[in-house]
């Protein structure tokens, strides 16, 4: 379970970085060049999109990286990442996989209460 959480967390972080790059770039482009009615309109909360575009993938990568050693902490970070991505970007075609991977990885990490290693978090 810990290995699955590790792989899912790192994958969610990498896909989340792509979503974050494009979201940040989109908000900056609309800010720089202005809105085009029906084509490119500014999002309601620019700062939330920009902050979560950086923070959510970072949480997913950190949570996935620590899922083997500290499953509870890694799982909490992964779940926070999934919630942050959902809050900032919504659930759409480009965010379905990062949100789902981070959520499932977080659940697997938290559920790893009886690990193979002697240090359990329950």
* Tens-level pLDDT at each residue, the chain (122 residues): 899 999 999 999 999 999 999 999 999 999 998 888 888 888 889 999 999 999 999 999 999 999 988 999 999 999 999 999 999 999 999 999 999 999 999 999 999 866 555 565 65
**pLDDT tens digit sequence for 83-108:** 999 999 999 999 999 999 999 999 99
Measured CA to CA, the distance from residue 99 to residue 11 in angstroms comes to 11
From residue 12, alpha-carbon distances to 21, 61, 89, 117 in Å are 14, 7, 14, 25
Distance of CA 110 to the CA centre of its chain: 16
Measured CA to CA, the distance from residue 114 to residue 28 in angstroms comes to 46
Taking the whole predicted model, whether its pTM rises above 0.75 is answered as yes
Q: How many helices (H) and strands (E) does the chain have?
A: 4, 0
Ordered by start, the domain boundaries in the chain are: 2-111
């Amino acid at each position: 379970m810990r290995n699955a959480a590790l792989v899912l967390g790192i994958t969610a972080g990498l896909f989340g970085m792509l979503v974050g790059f494009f979201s940040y770039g989109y908000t900056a482009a609309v800010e720089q060049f202005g809105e085009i009615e029906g084509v490119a309109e500014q999002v309601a909360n620019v700062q939330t999109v920009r902050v979560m575009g950086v923070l959510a993938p970072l949480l997913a990568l950190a949570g996935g990286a620590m899922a083997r050693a500290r499953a509870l902490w890694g799982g909490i970070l992964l779940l926070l990442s999934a919630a942050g991505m959902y809050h900032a970007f919504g659930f759409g075609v480009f965010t379905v996989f990062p949100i789902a991977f981070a959520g499932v990885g977080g659940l697997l990490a938290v559920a790893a209460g009886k690990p193979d290693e002697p240090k359990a978090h329950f």
